Chains A and B, each alone.
Chain A
C-alpha cells in the first residue's frame, strides 16, 4: 500500500531545484494565508489547476477526490454555521446564514483545498530524497531531513502490519465495533500492542541496518545527485515572490477580506 504520490514524469516542474520547490510551497501557503474572500482565492486556484495539468498529476487528485470533497464540504458548512456576521438571509433558531457567512465558509473551504492541492502537487513532483536535499540546502540538519524520508518508508509498513493484525484478531472472533467511543478505543488494544511491538522490533532492525551502512559516519554526507540552480529556477522564485507580494497587497488593500453586509 504505497503512500508516495510521486509521479515519475519529466515536466519542467519536476525538474525544478528542490529548494525552489520548497520555497514555492511556502510562497503559496503565504499567499493563501492572507486572504479569506473566495474571489481573491480564485486566481491561485486556477494557477494550481494549471499546475496539475502541466505536471499531469490528475491521477493523484482523482485518487484523493473524496478527501478534497470532504474537506471543502465539511469546512464550508461548518464555517457557514459558526460565522455569525452580516445581515441574515436565514435565521432559524441557532441556524444563521448570511451572505458574509456563505462567502467566509466557501473561502475557508477553498483555502484548505488549495493548501491540500499544493501539497499534492509538491509530492507528485518531488522525490522524498529531493525533499531531503532541499531541506539540507536550506540549512536543516541532515538527520531531520532523513527522518522525514524514513517516515515515508515506515508509514506504509505500519499500515500493512496493522491491517494484518486486524485480520488476525477478527478471525479469533474479535469485534472492534462494539460499545461507545471510549470502549471502542479501548477495544483496539489487541491491535495496538502487536503493531507497537512490531514497530519497535522493526525500528531496532532498521537502526542497526542504518548504522551498518554508515549512517552517522559524517554529519553532512555527500550526495551523488546534485541540483544546479538554472535560469528557470530563478524565474520561478521571482514568480513566487511576485505572487506572495500580490496576495499581501490584496490583503493590505482590504480586497481579500470578507465585508460583513
Chain B
C-alpha cells in the first residue's frame, strides 16, 4: 500500500527532467463528454507555475470545470468521454491514474458544500482525506490543528458539520483538502451558494493561502475577486479565448462582455468615461478619474445633477387608498419554540412594486416570504393578502394573489414535457383546457421557451430550467411574484436574461419581491429594498437611500456594489456605471 508521502516522493521523483517550478500542465488536451454535441475542451495548452494563482473565467458550459477536473483525473477517470492530450502534475503524467490516486497531489473544493462533507464531526472531516491516502495516525494528528487554524476553525473539532454556516462548511472542506498538502488546489466556484459573509470568509482564506505560496486554480464568476490572481484564463466554447494578467484581462470590458463575464463595475465606469487604464480598487479608480477629468480633490457632484436620478428611480405606490397586495402586521415566527426567526416585522407591498429583501443567511428573509405564501403559520401577528387574512383564504385564491419561485428549480420540475410542467398548476386548480392552453402559450412566450414546449425539462440547461420554474408559477397569474435567489448558479448572461424577464413582468404589472445576496442586482433592478437582520427589519425604503447608509449595511454584512462605493467618493449615490459616468461627464 502506498502512503501519501510515498506518492509525494514519486511525484517529486517524476519531476526530474521537467521544467523546474511547474505545478501543473495540460498539453493539447481535448475532451468530449459521452453525451455532448460539442467538445468540452479543445486543444488546451496551459501551464501553471508552482506558487502561481490562476483564475479561470467564462460563461456556463465553456469548459472551466472540465479543465480543472483534468488535473485530478476526474476527466477522463470519473466522467467518461473521448480524451486526447497530456496532463502532468509536478511533472508526473496523470495518464491513466485513478481519481483517488491523485488526491495527494491535487486537492479540489467543489461548489456543493453539502456533497463534500462526509463526517459527523469537524476533526473526523479533516482527517478523512488523510486517512484515505494512508497517512499514519500520528501524522494526521499533527496536521489536524494547523489545518483547522489555517481556515479559522480552531476549536471547532467536536462540532457537527451540519451545524456550521455555509461559509464555515466551505472552509472546513478547504481544511480537509489543505491537510493532505497537495501540490495544487483547485476551487470550482467555491462561493456560488454562499451569502456575502460566507463569500468574504472564503476569499479572505484564499488570499491567505496565496500568501503561503500554494499553487491555486480558481474558477469564479465574480470578477472583483479575481483581481488577486497572477493570471486569468478566459474560456469560450472549450478553447482559451484570452489569457493574461488581471490588469490586461479585466480592463478589457468588451472582451468580458463577449465571453459572458460581468466586467468589474469600476472598470466599466472608466470605459464609459473613455479612460484607457485599469483600476484594481475603488481608490485607484478614484485617483484615475480625478487625474483624467482634472477634478480637484474636494470635488463633489452637484446636488442638481443627482436630483433627476433620485426622483426617477423610486416612485411611491400610486394609490395608497387601495388595499395593499400584502400587509404584514407585527409578524413573529419562532421555530421549534426557541429560534426567533422573525420578530415583530411589519411590511406593506403594493401593486406594481419591485422589492429586494436582503440580509445574511438566517436573517429571516425566506421565513418572511414563506409567511406571505402561507407555508408557515405566524407565532404572532398576521398576514393579509388584498385586505383579507391569508389564513382564511382558499389555496386557489391565494395562488392568484401570490406565487413563489423556489431557489432551486429542480425542487419542482417533474413533468415529461415543458408544456405539461407549466400546465400542472392551472390543471390543479381545475381550469378548462382552453384557458390552460392560453396561459401556457402566454407564459412560455414571456420566458422565451415557446419553442421548447415538447422538450423534456430535465434536458434543459440550468438557466432554462430556472425560467421554466418561473413560467410554471406565472401560469397561475399571481399579482405578486416572490423569487428566492433567482440567479444562483447562473452565469452572467443567464442572470441578465432572468432579471430582464423579471423586470419585464414587473413593467407588465406584476409586483416583484426578490430575495437576493447579489448587490448589483439590487442596485440595477429593484426600486425598494428591505434589509433584514436577526429577524428584524432594519431598513425599508428606496434602494438608493439604503446604499447611502454604509454603516447600516456593514452591520448586516452587505457590501454595496463597487460603483456605488466609488460614486460616494464624489458625493453621490450611483447605482450603475452609466449613472456615475453620466454625472461625472456632466461635471467634467
Contact = CB atoms under 8 A, between A and B. Distances in A.
Given A172-B476, A205-B110, A211 B1 contact: no
Given A193-B414, A224-B140, A127 B131 contact: no
B520 to A, nearest CB: 27
Contacts of A220: 1
B100 interface: yes
Interface in B71-96: 72, 74, 77-78
B411 A194 contact: yes
Contacts of A173: 395-396, 399, 425, 428-429, 476
Contacts of A207: 78
A214 B410 contact: no
A223 B118 contact: no
Quick one: which of B108, B114, B180 has the most chain A CB within 10 A?
B114
Interface stretch (B25-33, B119-127, B196-204, B307-315): B119-127
Interface string B137-167: 1001100100000000000001010100000
Interface in A149-190: 149-150, 152-153, 156-157, 161, 164-165, 167-175, 189-190
Interface residues of B, number: 72
A128 interface: yes
Given A171-B373, A172-B424, A173-B425, A213 B132 contact: yes
A172 B121 CA distance: 39
A209 B109 CA distance: 8
Nearest to B406: A168
A259 interface: no
A14 B45 CA distance: 55
A210 B118 contact: yes
Contact of A129 (B112, B119, B177, B410): B119
B256 interface: no
Quick one: which of A168, A175, A213 has the most chain B CB within 10 A?
A213
B101 A175 contact: no
Interface stretch (A46-54, A196-204, A231-239, A249-257): A196-204
A226 interface: yes
A169 B424 CA distance: 9
Contacts of A217: 2, 100-101, 103, 132-134
A163 to B, nearest CB: 10
A216 interface: yes
A26 interface: no
B363 interface: no
A102 B202 CA distance: 63
A8 interface: yes
A18 B103 CA distance: 29
Contact of B98 (A128, A157, A216): A216
Contact of B99 (A8, A189, A212): A212
Nearest to A129: B124
Contacts of B584: none
Contact of A190 (B2, B4, B100, B424): B424
A4 interface: yes
Contacts of B141: 224
Contacts of A30: none
A215 interface: yes
A197 B11 CA distance: 39
A209 B101 contact: no
A199 B244 CA distance: 40
Contact of B115 (A202, A216, A224): A202
By DSSP majority rule, is chain A's interface helix, strand, loop, or mixed? helix
B435 to A, nearest CB: 14
A206 interface: yes
A212 B132 contact: no
Nearest to A162: B411
Contact of A223 (B78, B112, B131, B414): B131
A211 B180 CA distance: 14
Given A173-B476, A214-B132, A4 B406 contact: no
B525 interface: no
Interface of B: 1-2, 4, 72, 74, 77-78, 98-104, 106-108, 110, 112, 114-121, 123-124, 127-137, 140-141, 144, 158, 160, 162, 176-177, 180, 370, 373, 375, 395-396, 399, 403-404, 406, 408, 410-414, 424-425, 428-429, 458, 472-473, 476
Given A169-B414, A215-B100, 18 more contacts: A149-B118, A161-B411, A168-B404, A169-B412, A171-B399, A172-B428, A173-B395, A173-B476, A175-B428, A189-B414, A190-B414, A194-B411, A205-B112, A215-B132, A216-B98, A216-B100, A217-B133, A223-B137
Interface of A: 2, 4, 6, 8, 127-129, 149-150, 152-153, 156-157, 161, 164-165, 167-175, 189-191, 193-194, 197-198, 201-202, 205-218, 220-226
24 contacts: A129-B121, A129-B124, A156-B162, A157-B114, A172-B399, A172-B473, A173-B396, A193-B414, A194-B410, A194-B411, A194-B414, A202-B112, A202-B115, A205-B116, A209-B112, A209-B116, A213-B129, A214-B103, A214-B104, A214-B180, A216-B132, A218-B133, A224-B137, A225-B127
